[in-house]
Chain A
Amino acid sequence: MTRKILEVASLTKVFGGLCAVENVSFDVDEGSITALIGPNGAGKTTMFNLITNVYQRSDGDVLFCDESICDLPANKIAGLGLVRTFQSARVFPGMTTLENVLTGAHLHMLAHPAQQMLWLPKATREERDLVAKADALLDLVNLLAFRDVAATDLPMGAQKLLEVVRALMAQPKLLLLDEPAAGLNDSETEEFAALICAVRNNGISVMVVEHNMSLVMGVADKVLVLDAGRLIAQGTPGDVQNNARVVEAYIGQEFSPQDGD
């Protein structure tokens, strides 16, 4: 039996009068790719914000590796191995692409700031190894040519990829991706799908919000469908595609939009 890495139990979030997430429960299996889909405004991003405690929950609980993380500050949650990206790519302005990626490794720096200050060989070596690792990752997503460019000067799609790479540098156990493929063209999206699979095969569980159905249906082991804050279906991609409620939720929208938003 596979272990559950994330368990969400009757999670609820009310904004003023609006119930953005209503009594939602689901699990994420260790080593799987879980997709969270739903029409615009369904509450997907809010769900991520609740899991990472960016928003205070109204009710419910979130367990990560069997531990409640609802009341931990965001940086502690990241420290436990749950790292997320943001829907509006939040690369750090004023830093180059490479520096952005290196920032992701913050949790795993062995050298103490005092050792860095003194230019000790240990710190210098660690820094050099990190740069090599970051370069390799940037190469993987074809961003190596831009390593010394201001990250905010990259096109949107590249910024989102950069954010994913930055999150990977944090060596998460579970990676939450909010619309990572928005802004990528078809061939780039395919490459990205391969990247997500590679990440999963390296033992990192992934939960991804995505509007691109071919991407979702291609890579996900399990799909969760959110509509107006409620979880209306979950199951394998096949199950969900044939679910009447899901089709209904998407009525008025094209069922397989090729690109989000």
Chain B
Amino acid sequence: MNEAIQIAIGGVLLGSIYAMLALGFSLVYRITGVINLSQGAFCVLAALTMYSLNVTFGMPLFFAALAAIAFTTAIGILIGAFTFVPGMTRLSNSNILMLTLGLLTMINGVMLLIWGSQPYSLPPFSGEAPVVLFGIRVPTQGLWIVGTTLVLILCLWLILFRTNLGKALRACAENPAAARLMGIDVKRMTLLSFGMSALIGAIGGVVVCPIISIEFVTGQEFTISGFIAVTIGGLQSFGGAILGGLALGVLTQMTAGYVSSMFSNGLALGLLLIMLLWRPNGLFAPALRKREDVREAARVQVGIVRLQGRQGWILAAIALLIAILVPHIVSYGMLSSLVITGILFLAVIGLDVLMGWAGQINLGQAGFMAIGGYSAAILVTRYDWTPIPSTLFGMALSLLCAIVLSLVVMRLRGLYLALATLAFGLMIDSMTVGLTEFTGGPSGIVGIPSFAIGSYVFATPTQMYYFVLALIVTIVLLLIGAMRSSFGRALQAVRTDQMAAAALGINVPVHKMAAFAISALLGSLSGSLYAFFFHYLSPEMVGSVRSFELVAMLIIGGEGTLVGSVLGVALLTLLPTIFQPLAAFKTFAEGVLLVFSFLYMPQGLFGTAVIRFNRWTHQAASRITPSVSAVNRGSV
């Protein structure tokens, strides 16, 4: 009994942190309509700053805490002002979601550079000795955590519901356009909400640091847990967010205590999926009724990237020729990187069909890579299958998962779909780590043979290079065939306006599912080849960080073009190989490039290049009569 209470108390403490994070999520969501995934990073930033101030610079703990909170909030406001606020005016909500993902990656990258990847922890604020309340031992830090949470909730409530500022904030949440007309500075309110969420995150990070050790990736975990909490409770309700956080904390601690911690992750994610399915608006929020005839995302990105027919083929032929000649001029190490580029590109092509064409966000693409990779690795090493059937098996399994998952998320859109795929990726993550007897756990599977067709073995990077190249050319040709005709048009219609698409007889769910299936199949294929090429597979090679990386590659290269993303893949894969010293900057660079692309180069490297090229050749321009190009300039 006593043990149960102790565990429950642990749960409440953990839950308080989740509740704080959930509050931050809910705050930003209610004021701006988007989820700020970067919030967990502010937690960790504050905690690590406090550590440095206290341990390295000898500042007393209490002052270090205050200074860390102030510093983190200032950084948050700065980042918000230069990324989040401008993003809000020109990006669709789902792109903002990915922008904040970029921010999360970016801050993680900075922290990795400054603090390295080791864990840190600090002593409790008021000594180690626990206090005894009603015969139950409570660590003093627990009182700090619960107390801070309560004060925070009270302050937030007072600000929002008892001040004019709060009224303005809530007006932005209700109707930004009307708020603007009433003279409310919506941009400042957006910034304020972002800053407040950074502040909440920072406070959470500082008080929790003494009870859990913190490292640079903890931010991700915080974001995810806070997010699950707020989904359970309901994005629209502060009370719900708090209860959701507490419930999640207690539940995960209970399962961790009585079953296993591996299971507790799975439980949290399962809970998230069930909630998304059963009550996407959360337990405590009434289903919000929106006028259904209002278009959901007014700020959809509209850049059109088209190469005129013949030019496209000529450029493609030149590119192919270069690709064929490349192995003869580059070094051995470089060639391996090129093969990896090609293999990852396969996964990104799939992602492009889903995100760039059908407009559905997938933050769990590496989950499919994992299914493909582990199926192949296990079947080949353990059951003596040959590479091709085992790859096909992985693809079939991925297809099955994609169909089930898309049935689950069918009714969800944008935000929630992104989250469901994130949850899927994380679930696969925890399975690859946890199912040790199958996957080898964290140390992975070794001794995977090279890929082979019959008795022909693709043993050298050169052989593998040409094989992957042939595969890419075939797949791209097939997909271009589909995308330039009715299937591709239907996907694009679904992407931008589902209601108008349905009114033309397009079966929206079926098209979403088809795009998801293509994405999963290619992800799985890529994962299998990855395993065969490395002869080795471990969970972090196909983990959630990889999923984020694939999204970054796609956005940086250019969405909706099938081939453009190769530039993003190449940039992020080859640069660290060419400039070894830069390897440490990889995470940071990924984040920065992702954010930069969203804000300043929404068509990506490829799209921007094509638009420049078209302008240069005057091909497109000559077709546009003066009146329309004037309209053009006016509206862009």
* Chain A contact residues, CB within 8 Å of chain B: 45, 49, 52, 54-55, 73-75, 78-79, 83-84, 86, 88, 90-96, 99, 102-107, 109, 111, 113, 116-119, 123, 127, 145-150, 152-155, 166-167, 170
Q: In the complex the two chains form, is B302's CB within 8 Å of A109's CB?
A: no
Q: Which residue of B lies closest to A73 (CB)?
A: B502
Kindly state whether residue B500 has any CB partner on chain A within 8 Å. yes
Q: In the complex the two chains form, is B628's CB within 8 Å of A94's CB?
A: no
- 19 intermolecular pairs with C-beta atoms under 8 Å apart: A52-B503, A54-B293, A75-B502, A75-B507, A78-B502, A84-B503, A86-B499, A92-B496, A92-B497, A94-B304, A95-B304, A113-B486, A117-B482, A146-B624, A149-B623, A150-B302, A153-B628, A166-B504, A170-B505
Q: In the complex the two chains form, is A153's CB within 8 Å of B631's CB?
A: yes
Interfacial chain A residues near B632, Cβ < 8 Å: 149-150, 153
- Which residue of the partner chain, among A73, A95, A106, A153, contacts B635 with CB atoms under 8 Å? A153
Interfacial chain A residues near B514, Cβ < 8 Å: 113
Q: In the complex the two chains form, is B500's CB within 8 Å of A90's CB?
A: yes
Q: Which residue of A lies closest to B634 (CB)?
A: A153
Kindly state whether residue B485 has any CB partner on chain A within 8 Å. yes
Interfacial chain A residues near B615, Cβ < 8 Å: none
B490 nearest CB across to chain A (Å): 6
Q: In the complex the two chains form, is A106's CB within 8 Å of B292's CB?
A: no
Stretch of B73-81, B236-244, B270-278, B473-481 at the chain-chain interface:
B473-481
A54-B293, A95-B304 given as contacts; is B485 within 8 A of A127 (CB)? yes
Interfacial chain B residues near A148, Cβ < 8 Å: 306, 620, 623-624
- Which residue of the partner chain, among B301, B497, B504, contacts A104 with CB atoms under 8 Å? B504
Interfacial chain B residues near A149, Cβ < 8 Å: 623-624, 628, 632
Kindly state whether residue B625 has any CB partner on chain A within 8 Å. yes
Q: In the complex the two chains form, is B479's CB within 8 Å of A107's CB?
A: no
In the complex, how many residue pairs between chain A and chain B have their CB atoms under 8 Å apart? Answer: 145
Q: In the complex the two chains form, is B478's CB within 8 Å of A118's CB?
A: yes
CA of A118 to CA of B481, assembled, Å: 7
B308 nearest CB across to chain A (Å): 9
- Which residue of the partner chain, among B477, B484, B497, contacts A90 with CB atoms under 8 Å? B497
Interfacial chain A residues near B389, Cβ < 8 Å: none
Interfacial chain B residues near A75, Cβ < 8 Å: 501-508
Q: In the complex the two chains form, is A109's CB within 8 Å of B485's CB?
A: yes
B540 nearest CB across to chain A (Å): 35
A117-B479, A154-B631 given as contacts; is B492 within 8 A of A95 (CB)? yes
Kindly state whether residue B536 has any CB partner on chain A within 8 Å. no
Q: In the complex the two chains form, is A96's CB within 8 Å of B292's CB?
A: no
CA of A154 to CA of B306, assembled, Å: 18
Q: Which of B577-636 contact A (CB under 8 A)?
A: 620, 623-625, 628, 631-632, 635
CA of A229 to CA of B635, assembled, Å: 37
Q: Which residue of B lies closest to A107 (CB)?
A: B505
Counting from the closest, the 6 A-B pairs by CB-CB distance are A78-B505, A74-B502, A107-B505, A90-B500, A93-B302, A116-B485
Q: In the complex the two chains form, is B504's CB within 8 Å of A167's CB?
A: yes
Interfacial chain A residues near B303, Cβ < 8 Å: 94
If over half of B's interface residues share one DSSP class (helix, strand or loop), that class is named, otherwise mixed; here it is: helix
- Which residue of the partner chain, among B293, B499, B504, contacts A45 with CB atoms under 8 Å? B293
* Chain B contact residues, CB within 8 Å of chain A: 292-293, 295, 300-304, 306, 477-479, 481-482, 484-487, 489-490, 492-493, 495-497, 499-508, 514, 560, 620, 623-625, 628, 631-632, 635
Additional A-B contacts beyond A90-B500, A103-B504, A145-B623 (10; CB < 8 A): A75-B501, A90-B497, A92-B493, A99-B489, A102-B489, A103-B489, A106-B493, A116-B481, A117-B479, A149-B628
CA of A55 to CA of B293, assembled, Å: 9
Interfacial chain B residues near A73, Cβ < 8 Å: 502
Q: In the complex the two chains form, is B306's CB within 8 Å of A96's CB?
A: yes
Interfacial chain A residues near B487, Cβ < 8 Å: 113, 116
A92-B496, A94-B495, A148-B623 given as contacts; is B301 within 8 A of A111 (CB)? no
CA of A170 to CA of B489, assembled, Å: 14
Q: Which residue of B lies closest to A146 (CB)?
A: B628
B399 nearest CB across to chain A (Å): 16
A92 nearest CB across to chain B (Å): 5
Q: Which residue of B lies closest to A55 (CB)?
A: B292
- Which residue of the partner chain, among A52, A106, A150, contacts B486 with CB atoms under 8 Å? A106
Q: In the complex the two chains form, is A113's CB within 8 Å of B507's CB?
A: no
Q: Which residue of A lies closest to B294 (CB)?
A: A88
B630 nearest CB across to chain A (Å): 10
Q: In the complex the two chains form, is B485's CB within 8 Å of A93's CB?
A: no
- Which residue of the partner chain, among B301, B302, B505, contacts A79 with CB atoms under 8 Å? B505
CA of A38 to CA of B635, assembled, Å: 33
Q: Which residue of A lies closest to B497 (CB)?
A: A90
A102 nearest CB across to chain B (Å): 6
- Which residue of the partner chain, among A119, A127, A152, contacts B302 with CB atoms under 8 Å? A152
CA of A153 to CA of B635, assembled, Å: 7
A69 nearest CB across to chain B (Å): 13
A178 nearest CB across to chain B (Å): 11
CA of A153 to CA of B501, assembled, Å: 19
Interfacial chain B residues near A167, Cβ < 8 Å: 504
Q: In the complex the two chains form, is A119's CB within 8 Å of B504's CB?
A: no
